[in-house]
Amino acid sequence: MQRLNAEIPSLYVIADANVLAAKNVSIQQFAAAMRAAGVGLLQYRDKSAGPQTILRNVAVIRNEFQDSECRLILNDRADLAVLADWSGVHVGQGDLLPEDARRVVGAERWVGLSTHTDGQVRAADVSSAAYVAVGPVFATSTKLDAEPVVGLAGVRTARALTTKPLVAIGGITRENVRSVIEAGADSVAVISGLFVPGESLEKVARDFIDLLR
Protein backbone atom coordinates (compact mmCIF):
# COMPACT_ATOMS: atom_id res chain seq x y z
CA MET A 1 0.00 0.00 0.00
CA GLN A 2 1.42 3.37 -1.01
CA ARG A 3 2.02 6.02 1.61
CA LEU A 4 0.01 9.16 0.87
CA ASN A 5 1.97 11.57 3.03
CA ALA A 6 2.23 14.04 0.14
CA GLU A 7 -1.53 14.54 0.29
CA ILE A 8 -1.81 15.51 3.95
CA PRO A 9 -0.56 18.87 5.22
CA SER A 10 2.08 18.65 7.92
CA LEU A 11 0.04 20.86 10.26
CA TYR A 12 -3.43 19.65 11.23
CA VAL A 13 -5.23 22.29 13.26
CA ILE A 14 -8.07 21.25 15.55
CA ALA A 15 -10.63 23.85 16.55
CA ASP A 16 -12.05 22.46 19.77
CA ALA A 17 -15.22 24.26 20.86
CA ASN A 18 -14.49 23.82 24.57
CA VAL A 19 -10.93 25.10 24.24
CA LEU A 20 -12.05 28.12 22.23
CA ALA A 21 -14.69 28.95 24.83
CA ALA A 22 -12.18 28.62 27.66
CA LYS A 23 -9.75 30.92 25.81
CA ASN A 24 -12.55 33.38 25.02
CA VAL A 25 -11.83 33.10 21.30
CA SER A 26 -14.76 33.01 18.88
CA ILE A 27 -14.95 30.43 16.13
CA GLN A 28 -14.81 33.22 13.57
CA GLN A 29 -11.68 34.73 15.15
CA PHE A 30 -9.94 31.37 15.25
CA ALA A 31 -10.86 30.43 11.69
CA ALA A 32 -9.78 33.83 10.37
CA ALA A 33 -6.39 33.50 12.07
CA MET A 34 -5.85 30.01 10.67
CA ARG A 35 -6.83 31.14 7.17
CA ALA A 36 -4.41 34.04 7.40
CA ALA A 37 -1.62 31.70 8.54
CA GLY A 38 -2.14 29.45 5.52
CA VAL A 39 -3.43 26.38 7.34
CA GLY A 40 -4.33 23.60 4.91
CA LEU A 41 -6.17 21.14 7.17
CA LEU A 42 -8.58 21.97 9.98
CA GLN A 43 -10.91 19.85 12.08
CA TYR A 44 -13.83 21.22 14.08
CA ARG A 45 -14.60 19.31 17.27
CA ASP A 46 -17.65 19.94 19.43
CA LYS A 47 -18.64 17.06 21.70
CA SER A 48 -21.59 18.74 23.41
CA ALA A 49 -23.52 20.95 20.97
CA GLY A 50 -26.60 19.86 19.06
CA PRO A 51 -26.64 19.45 15.28
CA GLN A 52 -28.14 22.89 14.57
CA THR A 53 -25.43 24.64 16.59
CA ILE A 54 -22.71 22.57 14.94
CA LEU A 55 -24.02 23.37 11.48
CA ARG A 56 -24.10 27.10 12.30
CA ASN A 57 -20.53 26.96 13.54
CA VAL A 58 -19.22 24.99 10.58
CA ALA A 59 -20.86 27.52 8.29
CA VAL A 60 -18.83 30.26 10.00
CA ILE A 61 -15.63 28.28 9.46
CA ARG A 62 -16.54 27.49 5.87
CA ASN A 63 -17.16 31.20 5.20
CA GLU A 64 -13.73 32.14 6.53
CA PHE A 65 -12.07 29.53 4.31
CA GLN A 66 -14.08 30.37 1.22
CA ASP A 67 -11.98 30.03 -1.95
CA SER A 68 -9.28 28.31 0.09
CA GLU A 69 -7.83 24.86 -0.60
CA CYS A 70 -7.95 24.02 3.11
CA ARG A 71 -9.56 20.66 3.85
CA LEU A 72 -12.25 20.95 6.53
CA ILE A 73 -12.91 17.88 8.67
CA LEU A 74 -15.78 17.47 11.13
CA ASN A 75 -15.31 15.39 14.26
CA ASP A 76 -17.71 12.47 14.81
CA ARG A 77 -20.68 13.62 12.72
CA ALA A 78 -20.44 12.06 9.28
CA ASP A 79 -24.01 13.11 8.48
CA LEU A 80 -23.34 16.76 9.28
CA ALA A 81 -20.08 16.69 7.31
CA VAL A 82 -22.12 15.77 4.25
CA LEU A 83 -24.82 18.37 4.94
CA ALA A 84 -22.15 21.05 5.37
CA ASP A 85 -20.29 19.83 2.27
CA TRP A 86 -17.06 19.51 4.22
CA SER A 87 -14.04 17.49 3.16
CA GLY A 88 -14.52 14.61 5.57
CA VAL A 89 -15.07 13.27 9.05
CA HIS A 90 -12.83 12.11 11.88
CA VAL A 91 -14.00 9.28 14.13
CA GLY A 92 -12.72 7.79 17.36
CA GLN A 93 -12.72 4.25 18.66
CA GLY A 94 -16.16 4.73 20.23
CA ASP A 95 -17.74 6.39 17.20
CA LEU A 96 -18.81 5.08 13.80
CA LEU A 97 -16.58 2.43 12.30
CA PRO A 98 -14.54 3.83 9.39
CA GLU A 99 -16.50 1.67 6.95
CA ASP A 100 -19.82 3.00 8.27
CA ALA A 101 -18.54 6.57 8.15
CA ARG A 102 -17.36 5.93 4.59
CA ARG A 103 -20.84 4.78 3.57
CA VAL A 104 -22.23 8.07 4.86
CA VAL A 105 -19.66 10.48 3.43
CA GLY A 106 -18.91 8.67 0.18
CA ALA A 107 -15.70 7.74 -1.56
CA GLU A 108 -14.36 11.24 -2.23
CA ARG A 109 -14.28 12.55 1.34
CA TRP A 110 -11.65 11.74 3.93
CA VAL A 111 -12.34 9.51 6.92
CA GLY A 112 -9.79 9.82 9.72
CA LEU A 113 -9.50 7.41 12.64
CA SER A 114 -8.01 7.87 16.11
CA THR A 115 -5.89 5.05 17.52
CA HIS A 116 -4.17 4.53 20.86
CA THR A 117 -2.80 0.96 20.74
CA ASP A 118 -0.81 -1.18 18.34
CA GLY A 119 -3.86 -3.33 17.67
CA GLN A 120 -5.95 -0.30 16.78
CA VAL A 121 -3.27 0.92 14.38
CA ARG A 122 -3.17 -2.48 12.68
CA ALA A 123 -6.95 -2.48 12.31
CA ALA A 124 -6.90 1.08 10.98
CA ASP A 125 -4.31 0.14 8.39
CA VAL A 126 -6.67 -2.35 6.73
CA SER A 127 -9.75 -0.14 7.15
CA SER A 128 -11.15 2.44 4.75
CA ALA A 129 -9.64 5.28 6.79
CA ALA A 130 -7.75 7.84 4.71
CA TYR A 131 -5.32 8.55 7.55
CA VAL A 132 -4.51 7.21 11.02
CA ALA A 133 -4.14 9.43 14.08
CA VAL A 134 -2.09 8.17 17.02
CA GLY A 135 -1.74 9.60 20.49
CA PRO A 136 -1.61 11.18 22.86
CA VAL A 137 2.10 11.57 22.16
CA PHE A 138 2.64 13.79 25.18
CA ALA A 139 0.47 14.58 28.18
CA THR A 140 -2.47 16.80 27.30
CA SER A 141 -5.23 18.57 29.21
CA THR A 142 -7.45 19.04 26.15
CA LYS A 143 -9.41 15.84 26.71
CA LEU A 144 -10.61 14.83 30.16
CA ASP A 145 -10.84 11.18 29.09
CA ALA A 146 -7.48 11.10 27.34
CA GLU A 147 -5.85 7.73 26.73
CA PRO A 148 -2.44 6.86 28.24
CA VAL A 149 0.50 8.68 26.65
CA VAL A 150 2.13 6.69 23.85
CA GLY A 151 5.28 8.82 23.60
CA LEU A 152 7.59 9.11 20.63
CA ALA A 153 8.11 5.36 20.82
CA GLY A 154 4.40 4.94 20.11
CA VAL A 155 4.72 7.12 17.02
CA ARG A 156 7.67 5.07 15.78
CA THR A 157 5.76 1.84 16.34
CA ALA A 158 2.65 3.18 14.60
CA ARG A 159 4.81 4.25 11.65
CA ALA A 160 6.03 0.67 11.32
CA LEU A 161 2.48 -0.70 11.48
CA THR A 162 0.78 1.42 8.83
CA THR A 163 1.54 2.77 5.40
CA LYS A 164 -1.34 5.25 5.63
CA PRO A 165 -0.62 8.91 6.42
CA LEU A 166 0.13 9.12 10.14
CA VAL A 167 -1.11 12.05 12.24
CA ALA A 168 0.36 12.47 15.73
CA ILE A 169 -1.71 14.24 18.37
CA GLY A 170 -1.45 15.22 22.02
CA GLY A 171 0.64 17.85 23.78
CA ILE A 172 2.51 18.93 20.65
CA THR A 173 4.22 22.32 20.81
CA ARG A 174 6.72 24.27 18.75
CA GLU A 175 9.44 22.97 21.03
CA ASN A 176 8.75 19.27 20.46
CA VAL A 177 7.15 19.20 17.01
CA ARG A 178 10.30 18.28 15.10
CA SER A 179 10.88 15.26 17.31
CA VAL A 180 7.40 13.99 16.44
CA ILE A 181 8.02 14.29 12.70
CA GLU A 182 11.41 12.63 13.11
CA ALA A 183 9.68 9.74 14.88
CA GLY A 184 7.69 9.08 11.72
CA ALA A 185 4.56 11.23 11.74
CA ASP A 186 3.49 12.77 8.43
CA SER A 187 1.39 15.42 10.17
CA VAL A 188 0.89 16.83 13.66
CA ALA A 189 -2.48 17.78 15.13
CA VAL A 190 -2.32 20.83 17.36
CA ILE A 191 -4.97 22.24 19.68
CA SER A 192 -3.83 23.98 22.85
CA GLY A 193 -0.29 24.38 21.47
CA LEU A 194 -1.60 27.24 19.33
CA PHE A 195 -2.50 29.32 22.38
CA VAL A 196 0.65 31.02 23.66
CA PRO A 197 0.40 34.04 26.00
CA GLY A 198 1.52 37.24 24.28
CA GLU A 199 1.52 35.73 20.78
CA SER A 200 -1.20 35.77 18.17
CA LEU A 201 -2.82 32.59 16.93
CA GLU A 202 -1.78 33.43 13.39
CA LYS A 203 1.86 33.90 14.39
CA VAL A 204 2.04 30.60 16.29
CA ALA A 205 0.37 28.71 13.43
CA ARG A 206 2.85 30.25 10.98
CA ASP A 207 5.69 29.17 13.28
CA PHE A 208 4.42 25.58 13.21
CA ILE A 209 4.18 25.63 9.41
CA ASP A 210 7.72 27.01 9.13
CA LEU A 211 9.08 24.39 11.53
CA LEU A 212 7.41 21.63 9.54
CA ARG A 213 8.77 22.64 6.13
**Whole-number pLDDT of residue 147:** 86
Phi, psi of 158, rounded to the nearest 5 degrees: -60, -40
Give the helix, strand, coil percentages of the chain, each rounded to 5: 40, 20, 40
Asked whether the predicted pLDDT for residue 101 surpasses 90, the reply is: yes
pLDDT attached to residue 79:
98
Residue 141's pLDDT is 72
Residue 164 confidence (pLDDT) above 60: yes
Output the pLDDT for position 4.
45
All structural domains of the chain with their residue ranges = 5-211
Looking at residue 25, what is its pLDDT?
98
pLDDT per position as a tens digit, 167-187: 999 999 999 999 999 999 999
Split at pLDDT 50, 70, 90, the class of 140 is confident
Residue 85: is it exposed, middle or buried by C-beta count within 10 angstroms (0-12/13-18/19+)? Answer: exposed
Looking at residue 37, its pLDDT comes to: 98
31-76 pLDDT per residue, tens: 999 999 999 999 999 999 999 999 999 999 999 999 999 999 999 9
pLDDT of residue 184: 98
**CA–CA separation, 170 and 157 (whole Å):** 16
> Which residues, 6 or more positions from 205, have their beta carbon under 8 angstroms from its beta carbon?
11, 13, 33, 34, 37, 38, 39, 194
The CATH code of domain 5-211 reads 3.20.20.70
- Average confidence (pLDDT) over 20-38: 98
How high does pLDDT run on average in the chain? 95
pLDDT tens digits, one per residue of 187-203: 999 999 999 999 999 99
